[in-house]
Structure 1
């Protein structure tokens, strides 16, 4: 860096001195002679290419100036230089462009180190001859070198157009004000690579990049853009071939990594070294994703063993056809550049011959055919060469626009016309920003405010065939000028080959996506792609993968089994179709049948003593009320409605009061009948049939009044109970007024207790058929059932509450029916001899009554 800054200071000082005195001789300090190809013209285009790849410095101590020599021929750079020559000649033949003005060129060789900088200085100062300076420069292929060159030429307002420098850093116009490029910035390539990985779901990748400036910056940009799209980087290896431990680092990382996809961002030279290393160490196969600098270079197939690059994928510059260029390049002869030592050196390298007689190599004739060899120079795909072609045309169009003149003014800028002899680089710079033309292959060329051109790439896929040949297939295209979402597309009817699975894209994630029904939890101190998955809690759902949270269903909905959507909760009520409802209905029907059967038996035998005893009218009314009790339990079964909710509770309350009132009347009759047998007792006249009917009616009317008030003030109503169960809705009848419900139940309980007490007192009275004992026993069952009902009713959930209530109704009703009437039916049917006046009188006499 010190040397570069030193040269910058020298050139600026030289120019300042020249500017102060036009008579002062022009002289460059330091080594010159980097010019390789030149042709004179009215306007000059310069170019800097690394025709040699290695710089050798000869240090003579303090006896002489150190000398710099270049070695290691670079055929691809010769291709670029020859493309400039072809394009300039094509433009000079075009009468529609720069009509009457000829272009010339000066192409310099700058291998590495300080050489490109020295070559640039020589170009902008016109060398030792101090002839016409270049109006614009083309080059360099390296982003790092282009940065250094632009720091020099930017001060002089000389535009520099690079055909291959992709570092995004060069788009900063504050630092590189005169830099342009016909190759897309790495920022666009990184965007394309991120979209590619997003398309295939590769969220967990490794990066190996060279230590070159363009690769280092590109890796940082990929990490930045990838993070925004949810792509995580498992590891980053800065590949320095001069690092003695680099092989160990690469080997250990690739063996230990869990990612299947590796982004290789480095130049072709570094790639050769890396793949040899991968081959020698027999490292695990990965899905290689390449940068444009190497992905299209088929000669890489010769590195390492077969299939090492099988399935590799990456973006390359678009392939194009430039008419006449291939013929021009391949028709090169030494005689075309007789003074060029460089062409002879390349020729000897291409054909393994020598222009000097030698016993070890054959003699070069200079007429060998380049079509017979395979080299980077003879590569006819012309991907990056198109950028050189476009760069020359961009300068030509800028010059053409600058030299236009209408009525003494330039139609583009409105300034005074400029003569070809007065053209200044700054003017070229201004018009270069405005160029907008279409090249022969149909692509439009223009520069944005950062000096970048439209980004277009071909997506390539390496495919090895059975005959050991390799094909690099174009499987897609990326165009940054299109709207977002349409920029990336695959070529129809093309087959993609993958490195790991052959026909299926590899899977490369740190953690599989959390399925719907679970949530994602980020791990502390871990990349966002490495997370935990937890099942949604009860009542929660997530309806998409990788959901960061679960959502509660609303009160009337509940998650399905997968917990990925809310479904309506099932509604539940005691129905006639389910087993419990069917069984209870069957018992209800049996109870009604039994009541009707007993009613018929009593009706047939209504004149017998056992039926007439204790008021047969009350017995028939009691049987009717018991039948109604059985029937009222049916109102508790089925879907609750407004009418059913009001009916079930009122019908239950009134029928049971009617039933208990009848039993209470029968109990009082037993007591009164005993009192009536005493001498001078007329108690029966106070509780005769009329009074019995009125007592039953009175007791029942009280319940009717209670039910009427309940229904009027706050009646029962159907309710969707969502609190008792989380996963279902209970359709039930809300009590409306709890006071009304417990008043109805309490009144029944009060009558039952009164009846029980009276029956208990009369249990040993010598009645004819011991009815008081049966009533007492029936009331014990009745009270036991309903006392047990209260805690069971309160604690039973859902439809079990209704089932408990029905069971209590049926149990108590059956208890009354069986205890009071079945013994009498037994006598009527099986012991008819006991159902006679004679038997009754003999029984009473035996008891001394």
Structure 2
């Protein structure tokens, strides 16, 4: 404010001022103070403004999300801009609910990832999580577990401290009983003070704390127990920078300049160690009486050194918020002409505030993103207690999510000073982690603590034993002949293969009969042979996968089934073309030739053969081991190329569809033994099996995928054989009186 009012070119003929209220981190007090600001007096009158000569540009605050929420809901009604310098709850990014809310801190959505990056840097994979009841702990717990899990780690426990710290003892017990020595703390400093006291009573030490941005890292407001507990810890803080002119402003500050500001008097009293004349507060008598303050004392650099002016993150965020308000108002004035603006200025300021973009005197660029927050940039601070028992902090890292992927974190680990017994430069805790269920973790005991010396993830073909102290080979699993499922499928395969050979032998033995000669007996022989070969294919699926069977089994059943479907299609086309050719006006006579079946069979089958050759030669399926979590590893045959696999099935389905359509159209042709009816039924069965196979194959896991494919081969092959050949075998073997030329031509009718 002094900087703006002292520059005559910044806002000429106008004076900016402020009014301060302490919310005491209370929703009720924050809301009451907001109403007082809106009405212009301590006793608020809603919807009335008692400041005829003043204009409210906006409000800065609150510091925490719980106190900011009621403020934002109220200010959004009047479209009064609000800039919070500490509220990080993700809900404030909802501009439909909070249209006038902005913040100079990034949303908490970045913090789980930021914490996980710090843990990954130090290889800490077994951690605990403690948080305050801020309304977002459940969300943080879920997201934090997800981010830690990506790096192979896990969360030992997660505990929330309620608002009245009634359960702080339970939280301390969870920390004490857990073997995790690294604890992520998303707490308010008030809650951590109570937790530190409870931990000290339980004699819990040697913990490394990773503090979130919610923690106010100020030794003046922390208890002795809290300061000692945080020795050697790391704190993730909102990025702060230098405030030009701030040190000079404080060094020239005089209480007489702000005679009505009680905070300045308190500041003066605390910094100089004096007391203002007047009634003293009640309390125990002090050993030394402090001198009276005159207001004429001089502030020296020694006085200001205890303020840590180079590391004031909350102050820096307020500075950015104030600067943003003033720059937005200046831009509004520049576009609206000279002179004071009429009422409703805050609505116009809000529009300019969302697009404000400025560079501070420290050459740091500031702007608001589409979510109404500054870019996600964090500082990492190391906290330690010096040998002289003084509180020391130092920036040891930087995390900028605007940086390249994988290079967001820059850490100077050599500058970190760890507490005795917990440091990276101390062998007592050289590597703090706990193995996940897939890790190998040799452990040693040291000074009563179970300390993990190293942590190594087991290879994919190995699994940790029950004690989690060594990796043991996984049990190899595949669809074998010795298990019940493999035995049942092998029996069905053998039975159907022998049955197809039996039918083929029956047809050959009765090759001279009319029913065998009908519809091209050569096609019937080819169809039965290809079906027999199809029934042999499952033997390449059962048993230990080897490169040869993996490369051939998919292509083999694809080619054999293609021959089956092509032979069936050729039979159907022969029926149609032969019947149409007998009509006087037929144009299909030229198609009804002896070479037609061979052309259909060879032409359509050759396409599938070429496709499978490219597949097997270029991208052959090979044996692979499944990577599913568990004590067993399933040996399977990879597809080699999923595109070729589904192309092969698609072409087979296309041929089946064509055959189904042609047979369906020819089912009512006037013939005593019209084979098109049986072909229609067989193609329906075939199509239903393979359509249901695709979702079943995609949803199955492990060796179940092999069993599903074998079942599809056997079911579709058995459907073709039953529908096409069982009716003929019934006549050949059980009703030979119908197996005559006259009966085939419909000239005789026998009684059953």
State the TM-score bracket (shorter-chain normalisation). 0.5 to 0.7
The answer (yes or no) to whether the contact 2:185–2:211 under 8 Å persists in 1 is yes
- Deviation of 1:483 after TM superposition, in Å, equals 2.7
The residue that corresponds to 2:699 in the other structure is: none
Kindly provide the CA deviation profile for residues 471-508 of structure 1, in whole angstroms up to 9, marking residues without a partner as x.
32222101122232221112386355366244165322
- The answer to whether residue 131 in structure 2 is matched with residue 209 in structure 1 is yes
Deviations 1:14-47 (A, max 9, x none): xxxxxxxxxxxxxxxxxxxxxxxxxxxxxxxxxx
Paired position in structure 1 for 2:378: 457
State the shift of 1:187 in Å. Answer: 1.9
| CA distance in 2 between partners of 1:494 and 1:134 (Å) | 46
Residue 7 of structure 2 corresponds to residue 109 of structure 1: no
Q: Is 2:250 aligned against 1:325?
A: no
Task: Work out which of the residue numbers 165, 169, 183 in structure 2 matches 1:262.
Answer: 183
Superposed displacement of residue 341, structure 1: 4.0
Distance 2:133 2:362 in 1: 35
1:509 to 428, 434, 444: 434
Deviation of the 1:150 alpha carbon: 0.7
**1:375 and 1:274 mapped to 2: Cα distance?**
30
Q: Is 1:193–2:115 an aligned residue pair?
A: yes
Question: What's the offset of the Cα at 1:193?
Answer: 1.0
Q: Offset at 1:368? A: 4.6
Counterpart-to-counterpart distance in 2, 1:114 and 1:376: 33
1:364 counterpart residue number: 293
Q: For 1:303-382, what aligned pairs fall within 5 Å after superposition?
A: 303-304=224-225, 308-345=229-266, 347-348=268-269, 351=273, 353-356=275-278, 362=290, 363-368=292-297, 381-382=311-312
Aligned to 1:702: none
Distance 1:301 1:425 in 2: 38
- Which residue does 1:390 correspond to in 2? 320
Q: How many Å apart are 1:459 and its aligned residue? A: 1.2
Please, what is the CA RMSD of the aligned residues?
Answer: 3.8
Q: Partner residue of 2:100?
A: 178
Q: Where does residue 585 of structure 1 map in the other structure?
A: none
User: Aligned with 1:263: secondary structure?
Assistant: strand
Please list every run of 5 or more consecutive structure 1 residues that lacks an aligned counterpart in the other structure. Answer: 1-87, 411-415, 525-529, 541-551, 557-849
Q: Deviations over 1:664-686 (max 9, x none)?
A: xxxxxxxxxxxxxxxxxxxxxxx
Aligned with 1:289: secondary structure? strand
The structure-2 alpha-carbon separation of the partners of 1:341 and 1:99, relative to structure 1 and needing over 3 Å to count, comes to: closer
The answer as to whether partners of 1:211 and 1:238 remain within 8 angstroms in 2 is yes
Tell me the distance in 2 between the aligned counterparts of 1:92 and 1:282.
Answer: 55
Which residue of 2 is the match for residue 448 of structure 1?
369
Distance 1:464 1:440, change over 3 A: same
- Report if the CA contact (8 A) 1:167-1:218 is conserved: no
1:47-94 per-position Cα deviation (integer Å, ceiling 9, x unaligned): xxxxxxxxxxxxxxxxxxxxxxxxxxxxxxxxxxxxxxxxx2212333
CA shift, 1:331, in A, is: 4.1
Render the CA deviation track for 1:123-145: whole Å, top value 9, x for unaligned: 12333733234121111112111
Establish whether residue 92 from structure 1 lines up as the match of residue 22 from structure 2.
Answer: no
Answer whether contact 1:295 1:315 (CA < 8 A) is retained.
no
Query: Are residues 243 and 271 of structure 1, via their aligned partners in 2, closer, same or farther at CA, if it must alter by over 3 Å?
Result: closer
Contact 2:193 2:226 in 1 (8 A): no
Tell me how far apart the structure 1 counterparts of residues 260 and 350 of structure 2 sit (CA, whole Å).
33
- In 2, distance between residues paired with 1:421 and 1:393? 22
The equivalent of 1:161 in structure 2 is 83
Q: Distance between the aligned counterparts of 2:58 and 2:295, measured in 1?
A: 33
Change (3 A) 1:121 1:336: same
The residue aligned with 1:402 is 332
Select the structure of larger CA radius of gyration. Answer: 1
Aligned to 1:535: 473
Residue 120 (1) aligns with residue 30 (2): no
Change (3 A) 1:235 1:532: farther
**Alpha carbons 2:397, 2:410 under 8 Å: kept:** yes
User: What SS does the corresponding residue of 2:322 show, helix, strand or coil?
Assistant: helix
Secondary structure, aligned partner of 2:130: strand
Give the corresponding residue for 1:494. Answer: 415
Q: Give the Cα separation in 1 of the matches to 2:201 and 2:260.
A: 44
Q: In the alignment, is residue 242 of structure 1 matched against residue 164 of structure 2?
A: yes
Q: 1:216 to 1:537 in 2, by over 3 A?
A: closer
Matched, 1:150 2:88: no
CA contact (8 A) 2:465 2:472 kept: no
Q: 1:513-570: CA deviations, max 9, x gaps?
A: 564544477999xxxxx99955145799xxxxxxxxxxx99759xxxxxxxxxxxxxx
Structure 1 pair 300/379, CA: closer, same or farther in 2 (3 Å)?
Answer: farther
**Residue number in structure 2 paired with 1:428:** 349
Q: Structure 1-normalised TM-score? A: 0.47
Quote the offset at 1:347 in angstroms. 4.8
Change in 2 beyond 3 A, CA 1:421/1:102: farther
**Partner deviation per Cα, 1:404-456 (whole Å, 9 max, x = no partner):** 23xxxx7xxxxx99963356212111111111111122221111111010121
Shift of 1:231: 4.0
1:474 counterpart (392, 395, 409) = 395
In structure 2, relative to structure 1, the CA distance for the partners of 1:331 and 1:213 (3 Å cut) is farther
Distance 1:517 1:291 in 2: 35
- Name structure 2 gaps, 5 residues minimum: 42-48, 441-455, 479-543, 549-752
1:384 to partner: Cα distance: 1.9
1:562-607 Cα offsets, whole Å, 9 max, x none, are: xxxxxxxxxxxxxxxxxxxxxxxxxxxxxxxxxxxxxxxxxxxxxx
- Residues 245 and 135 of structure 1: is their aligned pair in 2 closer, same or farther, counting only changes over 3 Å? closer
Q: Distance in 2 between matches of 1:149 and 1:305?
A: 31
Q: Aligned pair in 2 of structure 1 residues 134, 553: CA closer, same or farther (>3 Å)?
A: farther
Q: Deviations over 1:94-126 (max 9, x none)?
A: 355445543232333333342221111121233
